[in-house]
Each structure stands twice: as structure tokens, then as C-alpha cells.
Amino acid sequence: DVKVTQSSRYLVKRTGEKVFLECVQDMDHENMFWYRQDPGLGLRLIYFSYDVKMKEKGDIPEGYSVSREKKERFSLILESASTNQTSMYLCASSFSGTYNEQFFGPGTRLTVL
Amino acid sequence: AQSVTQLDSQVPVFEEAPVELRCNYSSSVSVYLFWYVQYPNQGLQLLLKYLSGSTLVKGINGFEAEFNKSQTSFHLRKPSVHISDTAEYFCAVRGWGGSQGNLIFGKGTKLSVKP
């Protein structure tokens, strides 16, 4: 079974803190993704990576950065957390290519106070 | 640019009744479409996908969807729902161009199955 794991299910941070969300996949997938999920807005892509050390901005990259030093690991960084970044964060991975589905982790619910 | 519209934000239905969750897309190129399900407090799981071929696609848990190119729709159906189908369902279209390989998601439909 494909497994995508995220470092925390729930996280509470204070405004201004630097926050790291970690994602690890065990299927040797080339592509990895970070989404943000908010009620009524669906999933919005923050960043994605199609190879080690490669990254591309998604639809809402402002306030976020990412790091991919190893193929299996993709980190989302909130440089200075703000209350409007309180959300559910979902990581996904897939093989490269046209047809390949994305596999999702369980999500991290982040609350910024 | 591609986009996805899920026409209903919430769908309440009684157990054993049929259900249809509606999805319309816009895309000027070849279309690849997906339905994902999210059970409470979990990540998303693929229900089914349309890449090419037969327009009727069967997925897991008894769900199926029909690709209709003329109506740009990809509605999800199940003839008889169970309480365990209570979840949020997301329709998605594969991105192209700068978003190649990405999925563009609709805003979701919450299916609530009542006894």
C-alpha cells in the first residue's frame, strides 16, 4: 500500500512562529504536493515539486515556502505564522506522467493563535 | 484554464436511496477527471477516474460516474447509499500547461446519509 505520512495530525502555534510541516512518502514518487483545505473552498495548491530540489508555486504560495532535499520528503514552511494560516494542510504524492493519481496523507490541522 | 464546479455543497439523503453528486468542468484540452472521497478526519482517497475510453467509469464502494463531453459533466452516482458513505466528495480535473500534473479541485460536496 502507498503510504503518505504527515508529521502531526494537530498542531497549535503562535503568531510569528516559524512552522514546519513534514510529509514523507514511501513509494518512490517523483511528484509531491502541498494543499490547503478550507471549508467551502475545497483544496488549493500551495506548492508542488516534481524532483529533488525542484519546486513550483501553486495557486496560493504567499506566506509559504517548501524544501525537498530527499525524494521521499517534502516540507512546508510557514516563515512567520499568521492567524489566517489556520487551516487543514494536506500532502500528496504521485508518479510523474499524465495518468497518475495522487495519494494523500491524513492531513495536519494547524491552529495559529 | 481548467476549472471544476460542484453544483451542490451539501446533499442529504436517506439510507438505501440513490444519490447523484454533480460536477461540471471546463477545459479546452483533453480531459482527465477524478472523484475523491474524504471521510471525517482523514485524507482524500481516489474513488474513480476517467482518462479515456468508456464514458461510464466504475469505482470503489459501488460508485460510478459518467463522462459527458457535450454537457461537460462528470456526475457521480450510487444506486443505494449506506450510512458509511457519509463523507465529503471532491471532483477534480487534471491541470495542463503550467499546472501540468496537478489536480484542480472543486469545492466539495458533503454527502450526509440519514437512517
Asked if the model's pLDDT at residue A109 lies above 80, the reply is yes
What kind of fold does domain A4-94+103-112 have according to CATH?
Immunoglobulin-like (2.60.40)
Confidence of residue A24 (pLDDT cuts 50, 70, 90): very high
Contacts of B33 in chain A (CB under 8 A): none
Residue B10's alpha-carbon distances to A96, B20, B59, B113, in angstroms, are 34, 12, 21, 11
- As a whole number of angstroms, the distance between CA B41 and CA A71 comes to 27
Q: Among B6, B42, B101, select the one facing A96 at the smallest CB separation.
A: B101
* Cβ pair A31:B108 closer than 8 A: no
Ramachandran area for residue B69 (φ above 0: left; ψ -120 to 50: alpha; else beta): alpha
Measured in degrees and rounded to the nearest 5, phi and psi for residue B25 equal -130, 165
pLDDT along chain B (115 residues), means of 10: 90 97 86 92 91 90 94 96 96 70 88 96
Q: CA of B31, closest CA in chain A: separation in Å?
A: 11
Confidence of residue A96 (pLDDT cuts 50, 70, 90): confident
Task: Provide the terminal-to-terminal Cα distance of chain A, rounded to the nearest Å.
Answer: 37
Cβ neighbourhood burial of A1 (10 Å; 0-12, 13-18, 19+): exposed
Give me the sign of the Cα torsion angle B31, B51, B107, B12: positive
Q: Which pLDDT score is estimated for B96? A: 62
Domains of chain B: 3-114 (2.60.40.10)
- As a whole number of angstroms, the distance between CA A105 and CA B109 comes to 20
* Cβ pair B49:A33 closer than 8 A: no
Q: Which pLDDT score is estimated for B2? A: 79
Q: Among A90, A97, A101, select the one facing B43 at the smallest CB separation.
A: A90
* Cβ pair B102:A58 closer than 8 A: yes
**Considering only CA atoms, which of B18, B26, B2 is closest in space to residue B76?**
B18
Residue A31 touches partner B, C-beta closer than 8 Å: yes
Measured in degrees and rounded to the nearest 5, phi and psi for residue B63 equal -85, 150
Q: Which pLDDT score is estimated for A68? A: 96
Q: Which pLDDT score is estimated for A57? A: 92
Contacts of A45 in chain B (CB under 8 A): 99, 102
Find the mean pLDDT for residues A52-68.
Answer: 93
Q: Which of A96 and A34 is assigned the larger pLDDT?
A: A34
Domain ranges of chain A: 4-94+103-112
Cell numbers at residue B93, please? 480535473
- As a whole number of angstroms, the distance between CA A55 and CA A58 comes to 9
Q: Which pLDDT score is estimated for B30? A: 72
- How are beta strands A10-13 and A108-112 bridged, if at all? parallel
**Considering only CA atoms, which of B16, B19, B68, B85 is closest in space to residue B8?**
B19
Asked if the model's pLDDT at residue A2 lies above 70, the reply is no
Residue A84 touches partner B, C-beta closer than 8 Å: no
- As a whole number of angstroms, the distance between CA A21 and CA A8 comes to 8
pLDDT in tens, A29-43: 999 999 999 988 889
Q: CA of A80, closest CA in chain B: separation in Å?
A: 26
Residue B48's alpha-carbon distances to A52, A96, B34, B76, B88, in angstroms, are 29, 19, 6, 9, 15
Ranges assigned E (strand) in A14-107: 19-25, 31-38, 42-49, 56-57, 64-70, 73-78, 87-94, 103-104
